[in-house]
Chain A
Amino acid sequence: MENWQVVAYVEVSALQARYVQIIDGRRSAELPTLFTPEGTLESKITGRETRRENLSAYLEAVFATRVGDVWSNIRHFITPPDVTFVDQAHVSATCYFAAYNAEGIDHWGVYSDQVERQGESWLFAQRAVDLFGAAPGSWVGSGSAGLSS
């Protein structure tokens, strides 16, 4: 790896880690700061594709579906990413996630990211959340995560 690739790998890993800390910490106002101005978040869990300017409201709507002691605090564990370096301003990265609620595993899947360097920061140009499985009766497995309209 060239030095810029090493630095990019570390910084993209940090971006992915920051994302889960923000959503697990219910810090909805901070979520747009991780995306480019044209960035989008596509989730197979909620069935939504959301542009940057709507991300905070989207996340608040997601939080509203997590009611009760079991689902109110979900924690996402992520794996080290597989990164493909396109050039010094563009990479694609993929990592798995496993989300746990207060009783155990809730759902699991994969994040597929297109990441761009803008200024001094790497930002999501597109993040796709794909679901691989969900435990019966969980937030996702019960169907409670799907947002209507």
Chain B
Amino acid sequence: MQDWQIVASVEIRELYGRYFFLVDNNDAQSVGDLFAEDGVLISEVMNWECAGRAAITDYIDGLRSSWSDIRIHIAQPDIDVVDEETATSVCYFTVFNTIGIDHWGIYRDEFVRANGKWLFSKRSIALGGSSANSRAGATQDSWRDGSKR
């Protein structure tokens, strides 16, 4: 890897870390700021799609009433730095509630670098499975066939 690719890889990992702590701490506005202005969020877990930073912020804010007390754990991401302004990544996640594992799946992400920062341009969340009484309820088709929405 070249130096700029190493820097990009670290910056994207740092973006991942920031995203999950902001989501888990219900800071919707700051989560929205991690997306490009025209970013897209597609969640199979919640059967929802939204486009644009404002819509994503509203969506995250709306989760607060139903998604309290969860923590999202991710594995090491597989990051492909395409060029100095774009990158893609895939990583697994496990969502814990206070009594155990709630659900798990995979993030497929696209990034763009704008104003010196890496941002999510597209985030797709596919469900791999869920525990009994989980809050996640979407189909698991894309996990099985690896398709992208």
- Residues of A whose CB lies within 8 Å of any CB of B are 1, 3, 6, 9-10, 13, 77, 79-83, 94-96, 98, 105, 108, 110, 132-133, 135
Contact = CB atoms under 8 A, between A and B. Distances in A.
25 contacts: A1-B7, A1-B10, A1-B11, A6-B6, A6-B10, A9-B13, A9-B14, A79-B20, A80-B16, A80-B17, A80-B74, A80-B77, A82-B17, A83-B14, A95-B17, A96-B72, A98-B73, A98-B94, A105-B101, A108-B71, A108-B73, A132-B71, A133-B96, A133-B97, A135-B100
A115 B17 CA distance: 17
Contact of A77 (B73, B97, B100): B73
Given A6-B10, A108-B71, A110-B71, A81 B96 contact: no
A79 B98 contact: no
Contacts of B135: none
A10 B10 contact: yes
Interface residues of B, number: 25
Contacts of A132: 71, 96, 98
